[in-house]
């Protein structure tokens, strides 16, 4: 692939001790274009603006998808990208549902490794820090007719980041607004899923919460996700998380955690429908031991309280609890402090 290096790195302009998530970007980006039924050879070039007209298809019809993943500085001095092949597959799942062209997995894998290798000095070395990778694809045709785009752009940008959440995470059970519905695009990482969630999240924040717990579209009885993350509860020493469906994103962090829990016998695991009523009753009875979100940005984010119909239920966040044990297992694997029996880390 063609690589054009920047003439002047911006890395010295970045305060790596004070990183605001997703606001600063590394020196280079990767671009590939789709037209006439095929993808161009990807190109890596200096990070900068893209040129398009007001008639660009995605601005009007929302054919836009993305991924979120991380590269880590490892104990042996190498860089490791966590499960990139899983992100490649999920990107193509989103592409199929959004009627966009699939991206060859080798283009994704070779491109992301080459980009991170070029910008490897941007991978933070501090604990709980990483280089956040944002692959995305959007329709780039120039027309405003309501039909699929004929051209597409795939791009990857990188951002050095620290912890996603700081302080207590308080969530509210959402019973008015809906993130996704059966038959929709809830299992994809399409841009509209996130844009459509901002209003409900803002309403919750005005009430003193950090995020919402999304419930099912039919009766708002079933727990589905927490904000932009999958969600899990420890009830009676059992790890319980909602099963995947076309309304719930197949989180790679979620899948990794379930694999670790089952293989290492840390706790009993149940993937099953979870009723809001069950969680609230467990909280009232003191059986809700922990609750947390699972996702790329935060990895594991302990929830300190759940609000339901005007009442807040406090939840313990023990330093020696299941959430912290699971997070340490993943952190050690990603840093190289523990063995990687699954081959999850692409190291270079």
Alpha helices in the chain (DSSP H): 57-61, 84-97, 105-118, 191-195, 198-206, 252-264, 276-284, 322-335
In this predicted structure, what is the pLDDT of residue 336? 96
Residue 300 sits at φ, ψ, to 5 deg, of -130, 125
Q: Which CATH class is domain 2-163?
A: alpha beta
Q: Indicate the CATH number for domain 170-335.
A: 3.20.10.10
- Residue 24 in contact with residue 159, Cβ under 8 Å? yes
Long-range CB pairs of 201-207, under 8 A, 24+ apart, other chains included: 201/227, 203/177, 204/171, 204/172, 204/174, 207/172, 207/307
| Interval 287-304 mean pLDDT | 93
Which residues pair with residue 28 across a beta bridge?
46
pLDDT in tens, 79-107: 999 999 999 999 999 999 999 999 999 99
E strand intervals along the chain: 2-3, 28-35, 38-39, 43-46, 64-66, 69-73, 79-82, 130-139, 152-161, 170-173, 211-215, 223-226, 230-235, 238-241, 268-271, 288-295, 299-302, 305-308, 311-314, 345-347
| Interval 207-231 mean pLDDT | 97
Give the pLDDT band (50/70/90) at residue 247: very high
pLDDT in tens, 251-275: 999 999 999 999 999 899 999 999 9
Nearest to 151 by CA among 45, 3, 48, 52: 52
Count of Cβ atoms closer than 10 Å to residue 125 Cβ: 10
Give the pLDDT band (50/70/90) at residue 164: confident
In this predicted structure, what is the pLDDT of residue 177? 97
Please indicate whether the domains covering 2-163 and 170-335 agree at the CATH topology level: no
pTM for the predicted model, two decimal places: 0.96
Give the pLDDT band (50/70/90) at residue 298: confident
> Domain-by-domain residue ranges, the chain?
2-163, 170-335
pLDDT over 70 percentage in the chain = 100
- Residue 254 in contact with residue 262, Cβ under 8 Å? no
Q: What CA–CA distance (Å, rounded) separates 236 from 280?
A: 14
């Amino acid at each position: 692939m063609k690589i054009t290096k920047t003439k002047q790195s911006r890395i010295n302009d970045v305060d790596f001790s004070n990183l605001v998530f997703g606001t600063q970007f590394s020196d280079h980006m990767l671009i590939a274009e789709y037209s006439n039924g095929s993808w161009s050879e990807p190109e890596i070039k200096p990070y900068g603006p893209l040129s398009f007209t007001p008639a660009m298809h995605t601005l009007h019809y929302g054919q836009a998808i993305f991924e979120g993943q991380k590269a880590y500085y490892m104990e042996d001095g190498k860089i490791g990208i966590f499960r990139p092949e899983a992100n490649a597959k999920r990107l193509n799942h989103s592409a199929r549902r959004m009627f966009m062209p699939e991206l060859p997995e080798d283009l994704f894998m070779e491109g992301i490794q080459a980009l991170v290798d070029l910008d490897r000095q941007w991978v933070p070395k501090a604990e709980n820090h990483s280089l956040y990778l944002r692959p995305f694809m959007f329709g780039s045709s120039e027309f405003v007719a309501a039909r699929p785009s004929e051209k597409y752009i795939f791009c990857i940008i990188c951002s050095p980041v620290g912890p996603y959440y700081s302080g207590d995470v308080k969530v509210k059970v959402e019973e008015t607004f809906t993130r996704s519905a059966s038959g929709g695009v809830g299992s994809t990482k399409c841009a509209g899923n996130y844009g459509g969630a901002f209003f409900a999240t803002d309403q919750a924040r005005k009430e003193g919460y950090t995020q919402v717990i999304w419930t099912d579209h039919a009766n708002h009885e079933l727990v589905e996700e927490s904000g932009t993350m999958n969600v899990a509860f420890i009830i009676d020493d059992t790890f319980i998380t909602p099963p995947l469906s076309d309304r719930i994103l197949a989180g790679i962090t979620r899948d990794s955690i379930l694999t670790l829990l089952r293989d290492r016998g840390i706790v009993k695991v149940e993937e099953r429908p979870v009723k809001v009523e069950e969680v609230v009753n467990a909280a009232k009875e003191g059986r809700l031991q922990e609750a947390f979100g699972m996702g790329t940005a935060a990895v594991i984010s302990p929830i300190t309280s759940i609000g339901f119909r005007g009442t807040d239920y406090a939840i313990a966040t023990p330093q020696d609890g299941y959430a912290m044990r699971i997070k340490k297992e993943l952190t050690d694997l990603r840093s190289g402090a523990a063995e990687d029996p699954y081959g999850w880390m692409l190291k270079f």
